[in-house]
Amino acid sequence: MPVVPLLDVNKGRGSKEQLFVATIKEAPEATQLQLAKAVYGKATPANLQALQKLQSRVRVKLLNQLYFLDHTDPRHLISRRYELECLDLLHKVSVLYAERDFRLAERLLLRCLRQAEEGEFTQYVVLAARMLRNLYVERRQPILYKKISKVLQKAQQQLAWEDEAEQVQADTQLVGNNTVAARRMLLTTLPGQIAQLETLHRRAHSFTSYNMLYRVRMLYEELQGQFVAMIRIAAAAARDLQAGKLNARRFDLRYNHFVTIYAYLRSRQPVRGLQLAEEYIRDFHPSSSNWFYFQEHHLLLALHAGRYELAQQLLDTVAKNSAFVGQREAALQRWDLYRSYTNFVLPAPRVQSARQRQVAQQMLLLPEYSRDKRGHNVAILVLQLLYFLRERNLEPVLLRLERLRKYQQRHLTEASTLRSRLFLRLLQVIVEKNFDPKKAAERGQGLFQQLRDTPPPGEAFAEVEIIPYENLWGIVLELLREGPPVAVA
């Protein structure tokens, strides 16, 4: 009896393979010993060896099921379905060609070529044209051979330009995700790279060359802090798409949505950004990593707009997503930090969950500076300070203020970090005025006005403001009105 290459995971536990999958679904963190006991009854050496073979069979069958995934959901990357159609046709043609069925292979190749051209997938135009050229050689059809050879030559030249554009974009993106110093250096080289991409786009005049140029332009405006320009560029691209000037099979509207709400957040327009976020979220599939990135900024917009109850609802929605635990550790820690801020500004619940208590304790123990918390170090120390101000515990308050002072001296020396420096100077005022809220407000009035007048810096320099510094200063003064911190015996 032939082995079925697929696995029906919805048919209960009729076989060892189905039992294994069901066990994994119920207990994702199960050890090999636990799995062996669940599947075979005992965790003997022989059963552990059998489990390894079982895992291998299940893995192969689950990979086979990738061929049958539905990619038509518009909340996924729009180009995915069209690209996979091309790949599917090329795979079938490869089999037919090997079986010497040239007539059917030609029909499928012509169809693949047409779809690749409509989707501007130049790499698949090249593959389909090359296979057609070889097929016409086999069938001794010189006229068709010459015709497809011209198509192939043109596509190969265009692909070379696109490859060069993709290399430039990849280089800039890699540096853009690097250290603050590297991003600052990138700012000096980006104009030249943009000019190079403009030249390549004029030559190729394809969606790929356009997209590489578009994304690098966005990065440049982002690093400079030109967030209103980002909104304008994204809006122009959306209009071009609607007017049919951009390939609807390729343009990722979700990326446009993301950069738009991000720019509204950074340009201090959270109310408008929040309105758009609640509309745009419908275009993101909850299983994708893009959904989580979008929801991070959705949450920050709610916090910046003072919609703390909505922020709590968003946090709960994110935590209930079954894909939440699969995020990178750094992302999970960011969500913990956002939740800690949200819990702080909301009325304290009568009973905290064990998870809430654990997260709160972890936040209080984080070091004053950590490279993997880049952009969030000030936010972490300020959260710790707020907590001990509410507890009216003088010694840890003074300790966090000293850590913030040292952090400012070591890491916030550039002109672009002015907002963070102004806020930290405001925090030092509360010590100078012996934690008197009225005197601190009066003494800090000039600094506060300067803070309000200072726009957010570019992404190359930014410390993330989970709650705007202006609002945090109000929270600090309110905590002091409830009573100053005192030394605890």
**Is residue 352 situated within a structural domain?**
no
pLDDT at 371: 47
203 and 297 together in one domain: yes
Q: What integer pLDDT is reported at residue 354 of this predicted model?
A: 57
pLDDT tens, residue by residue, 343-388: 999 876 544 555 555 555 565 655 444 444 457 888 998 999 999 9
313 and 195 in a common domain: yes
Boundary (domain end) residue, out of 138, 159, 180:
159
The more confidently predicted of residues 236 and 326 is: 236
What's the confidence (pLDDT) of residue 183? 80
Q: Are 328 and 263 found together in one domain?
A: yes
432-449 pLDDT, tens digit per residue, is 999 999 999 999 999 999
Q: Which of 51-65, 87-101, 238-252, 430-444 has the lowest mean pLDDT?
A: 51-65
Residue 368 and residue 266 share a domain: no
* pLDDT greater than 50 at residue 102: yes
| The two three-digit tokens of residue 184, written as one number | 């600052």
Q: Are residues 130 and 257 in the same domain?
A: no
pLDDT, residue 489, reads: 62
The CATH number that applies at residue 241 is 1.25.40
- Looking at the fold, whether 239 and 155 belong to one and the same domain comes out as no
Letter string b/e over residues 36-59, b meaning 16 or more CB atoms within 10 A of that residue's CB:
bbbbbeebeeebeeebeebeeebe
Q: What is the pLDDT of residue 1?
A: 43
- pLDDT for 356 equals 53
- Whether 57 and 123 share a structural domain: no
Same domain, 396 and 287: no
| Residue ending a domain, choose from 101, 136, 159 | 159
CB of 360 closer than 8 Å to CB of 340 = yes
* Domain presence at residue 431: yes
**What is the phi-psi region of residue 100: left when phi exceeds 0, alpha when psi lies from -120 to 50, beta otherwise?**
left
Q: What is the 3-state secondary structure (H, E, C) of the chain?
A: CCCCCCCCCCCCCCCHHHHHHHHHHHCCCCCHHHHHHHHHCCCCHHHHHHHHHHHHHHHHHHHHHHHHCCCCCCCCCHHHHHHHHHHHHHHHHHHHHHCCCHHHHHHHHHHHHHHHHHHCCHHHHHHHHHHHHHHHHHCCCHHHHHHHHHHHHHHHHHHHHHHHHHHHHHHHHHHHCCCHHHHHHHHHHHHHHHHHHHHHHHHHCCHHHHHHHHHHHHHHHHHHCCHHHHHHHHHHHHHHHHCCCCCCCCCCHHHHHHHHHHHHHHCCCHHHHHHHHHHHHHHCCCCCHHHHHHHHHHHHHHHHCCCHHHHHHHHHHHHHCCCHHHCCHHHHHHHHHHHHHHHHHCCCCCCCCHHHHHHHHHHHHCCCCCHHHCCCHHHHHHHHHHHHHHHCEHHHHHHHHHHHHHHHHHHCCCHHHHHHHHHHHHHHHHHHCCCCHHHHHHHCHHHHHHHHHCCCCCCCCCCCCCCCHHHHHHHHHHHHHCCCCECCC
Question: How far is residue 383's CA from residue 378's CA, in Å, rounded to a whole number?
Answer: 8
Is residue 72 domain-resident? no
Residue-number span of the structural domain to which 397 is assigned? 362-481
Q: Do residues 419 and 456 make contact, with C-beta atoms less than 8 angstroms apart?
A: yes
The answer to the question of residue 5 being in a domain is no
Overall number of domains in the chain: 4
Answer whether residue 381 is part of any domain: yes
Q: Is the pLDDT of residue 461 over 60?
A: no
pLDDT of res. 9: 62
Mean pLDDT of the chain: 88
For 269-273, what is the mean pLDDT?
96
Check whether 261 has a pLDDT greater than 90: yes
The answer to whether 423 and 473 are in contact (CB under 8 A) is yes
**Does 113 fall in a domain?**
yes
What per-residue confidence (pLDDT) applies to 10?
65
Q: Taking the mean position of all CA atoms in its chain, how far away is CA 190?
A: 22
From the number of C-beta atoms within 10 Å of its C-beta (0-12, 13-18, 19+), residue 378 rates as buried
Instruction: Tell me: do 420 and 372 sit in the same domain.
Output: yes
Quick one: pLDDT band at residue 487, thresholds 50, 70, 90? confident
Domain boundary among the residues 128, 144, 159 is at: 159
Judgement on whether residues 90 and 40 belong to the same structural domain of the protein: no
Among 477, 463, 379, residue whose Cα is nearest residue 427: 477
- The answer to whether residue 344 is domain-embedded is no
Which amino acid is located at 133 in the chain? R
pLDDT at residue 290 tops 50: yes
- pLDDT at position 411, please? 82
**pLDDT tens track for 190-232:** 999 999 999 999 999 999 999 999 999 999 999 888 999 999 9
Q: Say if 329 falls within a structural domain.
A: yes
Whether 257 shows a pLDDT value over 50: the answer reads yes
For residues 189 and 175, membership in a common domain is answered with yes
The reported pLDDT for the residue numbered 350 is: 44
Residue with the larger pLDDT of the pair 157 and 371 = 157
pLDDT (average), residues 26-54: 83
| Same domain, yes or no: 328 and 369 | no
Report d(CA 120, CA 106) in Å as an integer: 20
